[in-house]
């Protein structure tokens, strides 16, 4: 993990409270609130940038202009992808109502590339696909508990893995573990196994 990605992930840990000055959840993710949250995140990373919202497919995305664009984008867009993920999670946590739309970040004209063949991230997954993955996760968990043997499934995209992990995170008997290394399409297999008893 690069230094930049580590810095971005750290924003959600020690400094998460500072993002929301009012310490009160807002009802929806307005363009103004989104700009404010991203601006504060970039300030925590010591990055001077101008953030504004721009229309995008009936919704909006955030455009960032900065002399540190290269640092924000990172190698093959990895840093920007991490920033976008953390930003959307922080914004979701500040909203008291669920947000259906994923907010993309554009840095000096660069957006995270998403191949057409790739399933969109969790913010854009169709409800039918989410339901299918949740049912699959629960079915595999039942099989693991019945046969007492781990099952390896996948590979899955980051958004698909997130749905599967969340579906089983509260199961007291099983746990999910993603492979450490992704394949060429960013897919990873998931192992569903019984939790070890202390």
pLDDT in tens, 18-53: 444 444 444 467 888 889 999 999 999 999 999 998
Domains of the chain are 3-107 (3.30.300), 127-194 (3.30.1370.50)
- pLDDT at residue number 73: 86
Q: Band the pLDDT of 174: cuts 50, 70, 90.
A: very high
The answer to whether residues 37 and 12 touch, using CB atoms and an 8 Å cutoff, is no
Alpha-carbon distance of 116 to 36, in angstroms, equals 31
> For residue 11, which of 112, 88, 103 has the smallest C-alpha distance?
88
Q: What is the pLDDT of residue 27?
A: 47
pLDDT at 175: 95
User: For 56-110, what is each residue's pLDDT tens digit?
Assistant: 665 678 999 988 888 888 887 788 888 888 888 888 777 755 554 678 888 888 8
Look up residue 110 and give its two tokens: 């660069």
- For 142-154, the pLDDT digits (tens) are 999 999 999 999 8
- Cβ atoms of 27 and 97 within 8 Å: the answer is yes
Q: pTM higher than 0.85 for the full model? A: no
The position carrying tokens 């867009």 is: 77
- Of the CA atoms within 13 Å of residue 194, those in its CB half-sphere come to 10
The pLDDT score that the predictor gives to residue 80 is: 87
Token pair 């300030």 is found at: 43
Q: Which helix (H) or strand (E) holds 154?
A: strand 151-156
Q: Measure the CA–CA gap between 182 and 178, rounded to whole angstroms.
A: 9
Length of the chain: 198
The residue behind tokens 């919704």 is 59
Kindly indicate the confidence band of residue 15, based on its pLDDT and cuts at 50, 70 and 90.
Answer: very low
Tokens of 50: 């101008």
Judged by average pLDDT, the poorest of 8-17, 78-87, 119-128 is 8-17
């Amino acid at each position: 993990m690069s230094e930049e990605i580590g810095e971005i992930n750290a924003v959600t840990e020690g400094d998460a409270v500072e993002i929301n000055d009012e310490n009160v959840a807002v009802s929806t993710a307005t363009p103004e609130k989104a700009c404010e949250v991203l601006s504060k995140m970039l300030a925590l990373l010591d990055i001077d940038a101008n953030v504004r919202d721009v229309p995008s497919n009936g919704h909006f995305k955030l455009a960032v202009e900065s002399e540190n664009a290269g640092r924000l984008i990172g190698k093959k867009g990895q840093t920007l992808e991490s920033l976008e993920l953390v930003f959307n999670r922080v914004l979701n946590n500040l909203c008291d109502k669920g947000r259906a739309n994923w907010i993309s970040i554009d840095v000096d004209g660069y957006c995270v590339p998403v191949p057409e063949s790739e399933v969109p991230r969790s913010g854009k997954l169709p409800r039918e696909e989410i339901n299918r993955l949740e049912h699959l996760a629960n079915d595999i968990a039942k099989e693991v508990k019945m046969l007492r043997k781990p099952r390896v499934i996948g590979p899955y995209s980051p958004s698909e893995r997130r749905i599967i992990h969340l579906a089983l995170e509260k199961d007291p008997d099983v746990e999910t573990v993603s492979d450490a290394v992704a394949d060429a399409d960013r897919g990873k297999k998931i192992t569903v196994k019984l939790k070890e008893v202390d």
